[in-house]
Amino acid sequence: MTKIIEIESIQILDSRANPTLLVELLLEDGSKGSFQVPSGASTGIHEAHELRDKDKTCYGGKSVYKALQNIESIKGELIGKEFTQQEFDKKLIELDGTPNKEKLGANAILGLSIAFARASAAQYMLPLVEYLKRLAKGEDMTKPSEGSSEEVQIHPFANIINGGLHSGNDLNIQEFMVLPTFGTFEEKTRAIAEIYHTLKALIEKEYGKSQTAVGDEGGFAPEIAKARQALDLIMKAIQETGYEGRVKLAMDTAASDFYSSETKKYEVEAGLFLDYKELTAYYNDLVNSYPIISIEDPFAEDDFEAFAYFMKNAAKVENNPLTGNDTLLIVGDDLLVTNPKRIEMAKKAGACNALLLKINQIGTLTESIEAHLMAKKASWHTIVSHRSGETTDAFISDLALALGSSIKLGAPARGERAVKYNRLLQLYAKKCLQ
């Protein structure tokens, strides 16, 4: 270990033209690390607190100058001292002192945590993915690097039709994703890109050129209102590109956004209000009609009863590579918010069988890895995920490969999404010095 000698942070813009933080950290031996902090739109109420200034005269209240000031205020506790990753993250949590990181802001804490990780990897002369892998396994950072000998082929979830809070159309379900289940990551990326372009041509032909505008995550957002319309378009694109039978589908319903706590019903489509048992039947009908192998946030973020019911009554799927059997992947995002306490609650309730891991939901790298290890111990699947308000930082690509998880990274378009694909292509090609 060497000492931290400098920390700098500035306000930058994310992919939605909203302010976020860039944090840079320098160690005494000259090793450097940085991180650009992402932000979500469809956020769970239990997520760690993202600190915004709320001054409506500046960026509509979304500036992050308070978070920057908070980083300045704790420099004296960090500079000139030595830490391991676990010690550094623990120190940040102690300096904040609140259950959900509202004092310093989870965005400020995360920027520091990941910048420190990158600087530490450089200090130990380890590729970032190797540093993260050793963190997850509790291995010695000082032993000679053996390189990335394991060739884990992770599964990319590509959101190619956007709805919900990620678009301006009438689709209440938020994301419709393709999931190639064959070949190398390069072959998967090719399939996603070809399906994406074919889908664009189909939408232009059926709905007009103006309908090929994209949503927050690069997926198309045509004026459609029903799930089957979106799924039919995607299936046609898969068939026309010759990938039928080799590409599965996934959905992120983000059901909290169409749930009424008063009526206890879900408006999954405009005018269609269902209770959780009826909504389970609705999902099962889709699973039986399309090659869907994963559904994320099928119910509201605190509706453990509904999740547990779905786990017991979900339709069977054919050859699910994510579960290794005929079990539908039921993914907790807003339900879990990458929080070990929420994961424990879900395990006891039998509420899901997969974790969506978003590092900014919990605020430190150490806690994110702890969440993954808890999921792994429960025999759950992990999907490392981007956010809708992204940056051109590709850290999650290294993290997904290090954990051997799947990755959710949006459409293969828009620079902040493409950079994640490109980083993984680089890592798999072994063209990565750091």
Q: Answer yes or no: do 294 and 351 share one domain.
A: yes
Q: Which of 47, 50, 217, 370 is catalytic?
A: 217
Q: Is 270 part of any domain?
A: yes
Q: Residue 31's domain is classified under what CATH number?
A: 3.30.390.10
pTM higher than the cut 0.85: yes
Q: Answer yes or no: do 301 and 176 share one domain.
A: yes
201-241 pLDDT per residue, tens: 999 999 999 999 898 899 999 999 999 999 999 999 999 99
How far is residue 34 CA from its own chain's centroid? 19
Whole-number pLDDT of residue 143: 86
Whether residue 401 contacts residue 427, with contact meaning beta carbons closer than 8 Å, is answered with: yes
Catalytic status, residue 87: no
Q: Which residues of the chain have pLDDT under 50?
A: 148-149, 433-434
Q: Is 143 part of any domain?
A: no
Q: Answer yes or no: do 237 and 381 share one domain.
A: yes
Whether residue 63 contacts residue 19, with contact meaning beta carbons closer than 8 Å, is answered with: yes
Whether residue 218 contacts residue 159, with contact meaning beta carbons closer than 8 Å, is answered with: yes
Q: Is 8 part of any domain?
A: yes
Whole-number pLDDT of residue 146: 62
Whether residue 42 contacts residue 133, with contact meaning beta carbons closer than 8 Å, is answered with: no
Q: Is 272 part of any domain?
A: yes
Q: Answer yes or no: do 271 and 338 share one domain.
A: yes
Ramachandran angles phi, psi of 229, nearest 5°: -65, -45
Residues 6+ away with beta carbon under 8 Å from 193:
412
89: tokens are 């993250």
Q: Is 296 part of any domain?
A: yes
Q: Which of 188, 248, 358, 408 is catalytic?
A: 358
176-188 pLDDT per residue, tens: 999 999 999 999 9
Q: Answer yes or no: do 30 and 162 share one domain.
A: no
Q: Is 135 part of any domain?
A: no
List the alpha helices (DSSP H) in 103-259. 106-123, 128-137, 185-207, 227-240
Domain range for 98 is: 4-123
Q: Answer yes or no: do 301 and 202 share one domain.
A: yes
Q: Is 409 part of any domain?
A: yes
Angle of the 128-137 helix axis to the 106-123 helix axis, nearest 10: 110
Q: Answer yes or no: do 72 and 185 share one domain.
A: no
Using alpha carbons, list the distances in angstroms from residue 251 to 15, 37, 210, 331, 351.
22, 25, 24, 10, 17
Number of independent structural domains in the chain: 2
Last residue of a domain, one of 107, 123, 139: 123
Last residue of a domain, one of 72, 106, 123: 123
Q: Answer yes or no: do 248 and 320 share one domain.
A: yes
Q: Answer yes or no: do 205 and 79 share one domain.
A: no
Q: Answer yes or no: do 189 and 71 share one domain.
A: no
Q: Is 315 part of any domain?
A: yes
Whole-number pLDDT of residue 434: 45
4-57 pLDDT per residue, tens: 999 999 999 999 999 999 999 999 999 999 999 999 876 778 999 999 999 999
DSSP 18-68: -EEEEEEEEETTS-EEEEE--B-SS--TTSPPPP----TTSGGGT--HHHH
DSSP state of 244: T
Q: Residue 411's domain is classified under what CATH number?
A: 3.20.20.120
Catalytic status, residue 139: no
Q: Answer yes or no: do 269 and 360 share one domain.
A: yes
384: which strand partners? 357, 407
Alpha-carbon distance of 378 to 395, in angstroms, equals 26
Q: Answer yes or no: do 180 and 298 share one domain.
A: yes
